[in-house]
Amino acid sequence: MNFPEEFSLLLRACYPLIYIPTLEEERLESAIAQIAQNMQNRPLYTWDFVDGYQDNPNNMGMGRRNPLQALEFVEKLPAQAAGIFILRDFQRFLDDVSISRKIRNLARILKSQPKNIVIISASINIPSELTEVLTVMDFPLPNAIEIKTEIKQLLTGTISSLPEKLLNELVRSAQGLSLERIRRVLTKAIAQHGNIEPEDVELILEEKRQTIRQTQILDFYPATEQIADIGGLDNLKEWLLRRGSAFSEQARNYGLPHPRGLLLVGIQGTGKSLTAKAIAHHWHLPLLRLDVGRLFGGLVGESESRTRQMIGLAEALAPCILWIDEIDKAFGGFEGKGDSGTTGRVFGTFITWLAEKQTPVFVVATANNIQNLPPEMLRKGRFDEIFFVGLPSQIEREEIFNVHLARLRGQNLKEYDMKRLAYETPDFSGAEIEQTLIEAMHLGFSQNRDFTSDDILEAASQIIPLARTAKEQIEYLQNWAASGKARLASRGANLLGI
């Protein structure tokens, strides 16, 4: 059900108080005006703190700087008089006891009247005593059709029309932005050279990065790593390469659904985060990084609202990769958390979306401690596959050394004994191998010479790998994977990492 249908249904069902958090005030009011017109021209009243009501000469200035009077105006109209009352930024006054009491009184009265109060706010701020009378509704970002219409309208004053290919690329690039931001960046392009050029797509992408940064929920993450940068993990890489074209129109015509995502479980430093970045680069998709801790806010309903905002933004940017690092730390053991069930509600919203999403958002979640993950997260249907990423085998350690040394000393690669280095570093993870090379470089640099295989082995002897300091946890993970509860990311590797 889209926004006009859902909003119209709430109006017909006499929902007295509707709360819509959005930054697109102008676009929302335009949509409500269209809905009101379709409902036998239902009268529309708009109030704000500075100017009061402005829609009718008889009501001009009513309730100016007086939010209580703005509510009383609704009550004074005849009982059978229909109307939609838009109150801008009214969330700022909800903590006032007189406002809160008046809203609850109005909620009783308006149940039997064709009147609806709509609070438009940039954020969620609902006192606990009003949670039962206010209905929160989402206003989605513009879809592809709306964006295409807006771009064509902006181009009406230019000399030439856009090629269809460029128009579609602009629409795809602009998804996830508000119409106001789209207007602003394209107007800048038109003002600069009288038309929209292919290079202006980068202006839209930069605006998108700025928007995502401002949400403080998602990060637009640059993905420069390649599949070839991952040492080992052959099963995982083969699985990813097979799905490289699964987002294409040909795949839809074939009957394939959009890939859902991956859960990568394993030991720290074994390449799980690197894999997420490499997927985005290989599939040529934007990479969004979610810090789950940012979803949680201190106000009632704020965490749930941020979760819905995150989902809406990710879907608007689809197709994309949504990378959730260390998801076990966010949702582990939430049943015992004393947060009045907030974590449980956020988790429920999130896993329901994972199971039911129809948009091409490929979720890559990583976890280090499988014991902390709720069983619902591991159920089939949330992700396409669960992979266990264990400690690299000797062959894989040789590949990892080769990848790093090719980047650091590609011209002298033959001078390093890869087989010996791999043999002498049992139980080392990929991250620990990288740290060993950095330590060896410090050793060589301090003596004004290049570092050697002996320097690398000297550095390795000073590092105590996680496989020894967290032996019990790693053994649990290996036993869990050996029981067949996840696919092994490495081909033919044993679970002891040797």
Residues 6+ apart with CB under 8 A from 324: 289, 290, 292, 330, 363, 364, 365, 366
> 493: pLDDT confidence band, cut at 50, 70 and 90?
low
On the question of pLDDT at 338 being above 60, the answer is: no
Q: Is 183 helix (H, G, I), strand (E, B) or coil?
A: helix
The secondary element (H helix, E strand) that includes residue 116 is: strand 115-121
Q: What is the per-residue pLDDT for 498?
A: 41
- What pLDDT was estimated at residue 30? 94
Q: Which domains does the chain have, with CATH numbers?
A: 3-136 (3.40.50.300), 144-215 (no CATH), 221-225+246-384 (3.40.50.300), 394-426+430-464 (1.10.8.60)
Helix, strand, coil percent content, the chain, rounded in steps of 5: 55, 10, 35
Short-list 101, 100, 105, CA closest to 127: 100
Least confident of 122-126, 246-250, 313-317, 437-441: 246-250
What is the average pLDDT across 195-215? 80
Percent of the chain with pLDDT over 70: 95
Give the CA-trace dihedral at 451, 454, 459, 460, to 10 degrees.
130
- pLDDT tens digits, residue range 34-68? 999 999 899 999 999 999 998 877 888 899 999 99
Report how far residue 464's alpha carbon sits from residue 460's, in angstroms, rounded to the nearest whole number: 8
**What's residue 492's pLDDT?**
57
pLDDT of residue 15: 95
Read off the pLDDT of each residue in 322-349 and give the average, rounded to a whole number.
76
**What pLDDT sits at residue 497?**
46
Region 322-331 average pLDDT: 86
φ, ψ dihedrals at 218, nearest 5°: -110, 150
Ramachandran area for residue 299 (φ above 0: left; ψ -120 to 50: alpha; else beta): beta
Cβ atoms within 10 Å, residue 101: 12
CA angle 271, 277, 279 (to 5 degrees): 100
Nearest to 324 by CA among 281, 372, 291: 291
Buried residues in 320-349 as b, exposed as e (16+ CB within 10 A): bbbbbbbbbebbbebeeeeeeebbebbbeb
Per-residue tokens: 84: 């939609």
CB neighbour list of residue 218: distance below 8 Å, 6 or more residues apart: 212, 288, 289, 290, 310, 313, 314
The DSSP secondary-structure symbol of 140 reads P
Give the rounded distance of the alpha carbon of 38 from its chain centre: 34
Q: Which has more pLDDT, 477 or 73?
A: 73
Coil, helix or strand at residue 452:
coil
Q: What is the DSSP string of 216-282?
A: TSEEEE-----GGGS-S-HHHHHHHHHTTTTTSHHHHHHTPPPP-EEEEEE-TTSSHHHHHHHHHHH
Per-residue pLDDT band at 263 (split at 50, 70, 90)? very high
**pLDDT at position 340:** 61
What distances in angstroms separate CA 184 from CA 150, 214, 321, 460, one per listed residue? 12, 17, 27, 55
Cα gap 194→181, rounded to integer Å: 19
pLDDT digits (tens, 9 = 90+) for 169-192: 888 778 878 899 899 888 888 888
**Tokens at 433, concatenated:** 């191998």
Using the predicted structure, report yes or no on whether residue 310 has a pLDDT greater than 70.
yes
CB 69, CB 98: distance < 8 Å: no
Residue 461 CB neighbour total at 10 angstroms: 11
Lowest mean pLDDT among 85-94, 206-215, 306-315: 206-215
Q: Pick the residue with more confidence: 201 or 105?
A: 105
Residue type, 354: L
**86 pLDDT exceeds 60?**
yes
What is the structure's pLDDT at 468?
86
Q: What is the pLDDT of residue 29?
A: 96
Buried b (16+ CB within 10 A) or exposed e, 428-450: bbbbbbbbbbebbbebeeeeeee
pLDDT at 229: 84
**pLDDT (mean) for 321-334:** 81
- Take residue 119 and report the two structure tokens written for it: 């609070």
Mean pLDDT of the chain: 87
pLDDT for the residue 267: 83
Distance set, CA 66 to CA 39, 77, 98, 146, 275 (Å): 30, 18, 12, 37, 56
Given phi > 0 = left and psi -120 to 50 = alpha, else beta, which region is 76?
alpha
| Of residues 378, 391, 361, 398, the one with CA closest to residue 271 | 391
pLDDT band for position 335 (cuts 50, 70, 90):
low
Tens of pLDDT, residue by residue over 373-425, are: 888 888 877 899 999 998 898 999 999 999 999 989 988 899 999 999 999 99
pLDDT at position 336 over 60: no
Q: Is the peptide bond before 465 cis (omega within 30 degrees of 0)?
A: no
